Structure 1
């Protein structure tokens, strides 16, 4: 594909991205987004496969058909009131915006669908185009699609994230663990309340909660191998009603992250054990609830090398950059538990994209769309029909 044709495809994609940005929808409620994508796919005469609503899966049979690859984009927005100048594409939905870039992911994959429809006679592998609902919540759209068997006939799956934390013009990934698991917890401390002037007559749950917060940090600093990434953060403590009353109950809400299933399980076990132990010490009761989220995202070694080769071939040797592991999470991890594949960052940090993901002023740099489209097209064109 020459530069003019690629830029024309990118411009088409940008137009659709701006429509999606003006009309964001929250996770699991992407009804209009579903209709919009479905109309485009139908107009391009691609087959729509059965998928859990409101996700969509389009299918293009290849001329060889011995291998099937999947490309995925997430379609949901966030409960964030948009701020900053966005011109004619500012969110029109109060309290909701595409503050993570999923509008860009969707528009980029739509452009690849458009290219594939026009070049279907020369595409060798079968291709599934997955437009996934509900990446931002638990349970996630990826879980639902995997459970529905969408990947059963897939040999490999690839996805991208337009990434504000990476230099514009660079694309990259690392084989093996790249993004962390993400699970949440709630610890309820049941004590006995009373007057603030007589703490000796109470079992103060707020005081006990402060011990729990400190002890959780000791799990990471003193019980996990320092070479193994791990995070426990308490984001909310709730208890009490006024200045001089010691409450009978306090709740702690937090998250924990890990790069391996073993560390993930260890953190959960220690949070539960230390909650019970500390509460027992102070003669209180503990109740611990875990909300299971996303597993670690682990790129397949072979598919990662293939993706790196495509980046270097299609975009130049200098375009590839290895990335560091990050403690953020991504539900693409569920696909990689089922099938080999790779998740790739597309850098866009610069003047246009200055604010981090989930910030009210977050915006995409649309100039990187062409590179992302070329990457996906290269994966389709170059995917080997024999084992990598």
Structure 2
């Protein structure tokens, strides 16, 4: 493993920084303290700072030895927000704010990019410019979309943009990247079935919406098993059913809610259309009315082929072939997808280990729970900070030292469907 020595020498300070962010989590578009900390550190190291993109986002600009005159540039992105959940850990850097927790490792992502920014701003051993993108509101707020709307790619023109996420269960020291879809689209639905309520002992005098809802839950799964191509990933999960107030009363209405995940807009179009048709047909068959709502949230995260392979080569140079793995795609969603709809790029995973790192903390316990994303026992593995920062630096240096192939901008975007928004 070829870590950058000046970054490795700062490991203790970087760990302290990460744990300070962990102890003070901030939710979507509330990242005032974190953004101020990021801006202060970047300015201290001599970077040009632009705050307020996407409300609480920060962009640090670092020009190389040529002062950025070459016009070459790339973007490196980290997310900053926490989740609205209570932390169960009791170690010294646990959340100080009830109901708020860094349970997805965005504190670590911020620390890794800051560490890279410190090195790049100090050494400036490259030509061109590096844009350090600290994004708010990844956890459902669409912060990437908001930063783009505030001129991210027009104010900071870049050839490509890159992201990284820690991945529990993958050994620390391992990085993974592949071309094509690596994270799914995130979509949600709400269906209200309206029948005619009445006495539970006299169901023939009303229209019971509950058995209709049960039929719908079963019928939706035939979309995945019988309408969708078996090779195209898709998931329909009904996660909530609400109906009734008393055990002897047939309710007037029943509400279903849930989520749909896909890797392509074609599969998503199919699923939405069939869900709507099945809902209309079943409700009509049973004599009930309905309201069907389908909301498209984050699009799929799709790595462009050239950039993914470029990242893989950088990873091999850094950690060796054995620790440079292909990505196993996940139907979890990521709003870095919005950036990849605007620019070529790649989103890689960095192994967070199995949680054993939490046993090294003095003055507290991690409560022995699983170290998985969005879990109250989770914590970022601080041993990743020098590795992630070294990857960012080597990627920036390598990208700005090479000449990318000429490509038609439309051809690149043709790999991905246009943003349909929320």
TM-score normalised according to structure 2 size? 0.88
Superposed, 1:64-103 pairs within 5 Å as 65-85=70-90, 87-103=91-107
Q: Does residue 387 of structure 1 match 2:404? A: yes
The residue that corresponds to 1:227 in the other structure is 231
Q: Does residue 129 of structure 1 match 2:146? A: no
Superposed, 1:353-372 pairs within 5 Å as 354-372=370-388
What secondary structure sits across from 1:265 in the alignment?
helix
What secondary structure sits across from 1:161 in the alignment?
strand
Superposed, 1:17-96 pairs within 5 Å as 17-49=18-50, 51-62=53-64, 63=66, 65-85=70-90, 87-96=91-100
Residue 3 of structure 1 and its aligned partner are, at CA, apart by 5.4
TM-score normalised according to structure 1 size? 0.96
Residues 230-264 of structure 1: CA distance to partner in whole angstroms, max 9, x if unpaired?
00001101111111111111111100011111111
Contact 1:125 1:385 in 2 (8 A): no
What secondary structure sits across from 1:357 in the alignment?
coil
Residue 2 of structure 1 and its aligned partner are, at CA, apart by 6.3
How many residue pairs get aligned? The number is 385
What secondary structure sits across from 1:73 in the alignment?
strand
Residue 180 of structure 1 and its aligned partner are, at CA, apart by 0.7
The residue that corresponds to 1:376 in the other structure is 392
Residue 151 of structure 1 and its aligned partner are, at CA, apart by 1.9
Unaligned runs of 5+ in 2: 359-369, 406-422
Residue 137 of structure 1 and its aligned partner are, at CA, apart by 1.1
What secondary structure sits across from 1:345 in the alignment?
strand
What secondary structure sits across from 2:152 in the alignment?
coil
Residue 4 of structure 1 and its aligned partner are, at CA, apart by 4.0
RMSD of the alignment, in Å?
1.5
Distance in 1 separating the partners of 2:116 and 2:307: 20
What secondary structure sits across from 2:87 in the alignment?
coil
Residue 323 of structure 1 and its aligned partner are, at CA, apart by 1.8
Distance in 1 separating the partners of 2:70 and 2:4: 29
Superposed, 1:224-303 pairs within 5 Å as 224-303=228-307
Unaligned runs of 5+ in 1: none
Residues 47-73 of structure 1: CA distance to partner in whole angstroms, max 9, x if unpaired?
123522211111122325332100000
In structure 2, do the counterparts of structure 1 residues 49 and 202 end up closer, same or farther at CA, with 3 Å as the change threshold?
same
What secondary structure sits across from 1:12 in the alignment?
helix
Distance in 1 separating the partners of 2:169 and 2:330: 10
What secondary structure sits across from 1:136 in the alignment?
coil
What secondary structure sits across from 2:178 in the alignment?
coil
